[in-house]
Every structure is written in structure tokens, then in C-alpha cells.
Amino acid sequence: MQDVARRIGRAASTVSRELRRNAATRSGGLEDRATTAPWHAERSARRPKPAKLAANATLRAYGQERLAGQVIAPSGTLVPGPAVAWKGRRHGRRQDRRWACAWSPEPIAQQRPIDVPDDSTMPISHEAIDQALFIQGRGALRRELTACLRSGRALRVPRVRSRRRRKGLLSPEIMISQRPAEAADRAVPGHGEGDLILGLGSSAIGPLVERTTRFTMLLHLPRMAGHGQEARVKNGPALAGHGADAVCEAVTRTITTLPEQLRRSLTWDQGAEMAQHTRLKIDAGVQVSFCGPPSPWQRGTNETTNGLLRQYFPKGTNLSAHGADEIAAVAAFLNARPRKTLNWRTPAEALDQLLPSTDKQPVATTA
């Protein structure tokens, strides 16, 4: 088998599995027979084959539960989400987005053997889940569950992002190139990334993500007094809730709840909401750095988290309608979601392993 594998450029285990899969078993063992092996191979190649999710009700229920999970508040009550309709022709044919836990197919496939380690008869791949959702005729899963996916699409299409430069407002010494080297390789925890996700009516929520563990905290940025009741004043206070002062105070309240070893640096984009970065450095004791003007990939951890958060806070909705409890529920669900980059551990588990037992304390998720 090893000689055959070398000749065809494959692993020896691939040859071994192929022989075992197409072996003759009538003698009570596994024998490689030239007459039996082609018959097994032709039978396995016949299409269409019954989908695994269609044939196994238990596995199908497992996938549907995680694709269409409900968001539960810390009090145990169900959090009703907003009704969001897709608008505009450029989005194509999409179903209305749902407020749901909605794991992606790959975490579902990887979490299955962890949840049921003793059942080796029901493995599943993310490709099988994708096909069950998107390919007509293999619809083992309910078609409407595609609305729970982050894309909301029945088909995948490339996404084109516009490139818009922001006005520079920072000095070179606090750019991302000056960030400590330990932050770039994620070897030392405590280096975070932050940003704002915006909603209807200039509403906003601020995610803060720790780079090593991907642990996420959400800033609750409610409207300030007088918003919507008086005309906007040029150069006046930002009553929408995400001005420089409000963001600085919210980040300070959240950062100071963390242990000291998790407050090393914070990387942000060049938005005007961080105009008080000098004050933030003094109040929170954290070094603030900024990425380049049109360079979101320099904060890749935060951009990935923003994509996950859009699953719960879709574009075109009023984010100020969500209270602190609802935001805390979303943060808890996000930190309990297994991540591929963490070898399918959750951010909460990764953070718990990094913190010494003497330093473990409740960590705030909102501010």
C-alpha cells in the first residue's frame, strides 16, 4: 500500500481506506478481489445518493437546532429580534433576515463529535450542510433556514467593498506599525481591537475583541438626552450616543473591569469617535494605536467579529432599540460559539485557560 501511494502521489491511509471500503467480506474478513472491488466502487458512485441529513432524523434535528437557535437573555427570557426586510435590487433574491443564534455550517460540523463523542456513526461535514440548504432536491434542512445565515443569500456572490479614504487625524507615533510585536503574533493576551457598527438613525454598538482568545465585549451606546428633540448644533455634542466623549467613557468602563494583564493595547480605525484617545490612554491605562486609513485588514479579528455581530444586529435596523440586557445576551452567545481559529474551542474557554485561577473574576460584557 505504501508503494502504491508513492506511485500515485497519495497518502498510504488513502489507499488503505479505499481497499477497506471496496473489500469482499463474504469470507468473514476483508479481502481485495478484482471482481468485487469494481462492483463496490460502481455502486458507491451512483447518483443521486440519499443525503445523510435526509436519512438521519437525529442528525437533521441537531443541525436545524443550531442553524435556527434562539437568543436567550441572562434572565432566561427569549429576546425578540427586529423584523428586517432586504431592500434594493442589488442584493438579489434574499429572505428576510432573522434574529437567531445561527451557527455557520462549519462550526456545526466540528462541534458534533465534541457534543456526541461516543457516536461515530453520525459525522457530518459542512459541505453536506451547505448542500442540504442550497441545492434543490437535497433539501434535508428547511429552506427558510438560509435566512439565519450571515449572508442571507440562497447563492454566494463576491462582495465588493468601496474604498473611501478618511481624513488623517493622528500622528505617526501611534500608528499600528508602532504597536508591540507581541500583539502581532498573538503570543501574549491583552491586546484588543475595537470599532463601531452603525445602524439606522446614527445608532451604534461598539465591539471590543481580544486578539488571542477572540473574547468579545460589547459597548452599549444609548442615545443622549435631547436626541431627536432639537436641531443638531454644528460642533455640538454628539447626541446619537457614539461621539468621542461617549465612546471614551464606555471603553474606559469596560476596559477597567478586566484584569491588568488583559489591558495592554487597543487598536482602532481612524474614526472621529476616538478623538479622545489621549484621555482614554490615561483613564483606562491602555496603549491606543490606529490602523491605516483604508486598511481594515489590519484589524482582521475585529472585522471578523463585526461580520458575526451583523448576524444579530443587521444593517438597516435601529441599534438603539436594544437594551443592555439584550446586548449582554448576544455577547454571551458569541463567546460561547466555537471558533475554527481556536481549534473549535469557545472564546470563553480560551480566556478561562489563559487566566490564572487567582485572577479569575467576572468579566463585563457591556458598558
CATH of the domain at 251: 3.30.420.10
Q: Do 103 and 233 lie in a common domain?
A: no
pLDDT tens-digit map of 16-40: 988 888 888 877 778 888 888 888 8
In a domain, 276, yes or no: yes
- Peptide bond just before 207 cis, omega within 30 deg: no
Element (H, E) at 111: helix 105-115
In a domain, 210, yes or no: yes
Q: Do 214 and 316 lie in a common domain?
A: yes
CA distance 308 to 331: 11
* Three cell numbers, residue 307: 461580520
Q: Do 192 and 102 lie in a common domain?
A: no
CA distance 155 to 345: 29
CA distance 98 to 305: 18
- Residue 97: give the domain boundaries: 52-148
Residue among 210, 179, 240 at smallest CA distance from 334: 210
Q: Which residues pair with 175 in a beta bridge?
A: 290
In a domain, 365, yes or no: no
Q: Do 95 and 10 lie in a common domain?
A: no
Q: Do 20 and 75 lie in a common domain?
A: no
3 φψ region: left (φ > 0), alpha (ψ -120 to 50), beta (else):
alpha
Residue that finishes a domain, picked among 148, 182, 204 = 148
In a domain, 180, yes or no: yes
Per-residue pLDDT of the chain in tens (367 residues, 90 and over written 9): 899 999 999 999 999 988 888 888 877 778 888 888 888 888 887 777 777 787 788 888 888 878 876 677 778 787 776 665 655 554 455 555 556 557 888 888 888 888 888 777 677 888 888 877 776 555 567 666 776 676 666 665 554 544 444 444 566 667 888 787 888 888 888 999 999 999 888 889 999 999 999 999 999 988 877 776 777 777 667 787 888 888 999 999 998 888 888 888 899 888 888 888 888 888 888 888 888 877 888 888 999 999 999 888 888 888 988 888 899 899 999 999 999 999 999 999 999 888 764 355 555 455 5
Residue 166: the pLDDT is 47
Q: Do 85 and 206 lie in a common domain?
A: no
In a domain, 163, yes or no: no
CA distance 296 to 223: 27
Residue 87: the pLDDT is 57
Q: Do 131 and 83 lie in a common domain?
A: yes
Q: Do 214 and 342 lie in a common domain?
A: yes
Residue among 170, 178, 166, 176 at smallest CA distance from 294: 166
Q: Do 79 and 20 lie in a common domain?
A: no
Q: Do 67 and 186 lie in a common domain?
A: no
Number of domains in the chain: 3
In a domain, 157, yes or no: no
In a domain, 367, yes or no: no
| C-alpha separations of 313 from 48, 78, 232, 253, 298 in Å | 39, 16, 26, 23, 23
Q: Do 122 and 251 lie in a common domain?
A: no
Q: Do 253 and 341 lie in a common domain?
A: yes
Contacts of 210 (CB under 8 A, 6+ apart): 189, 190, 191, 192, 216, 262, 347, 351
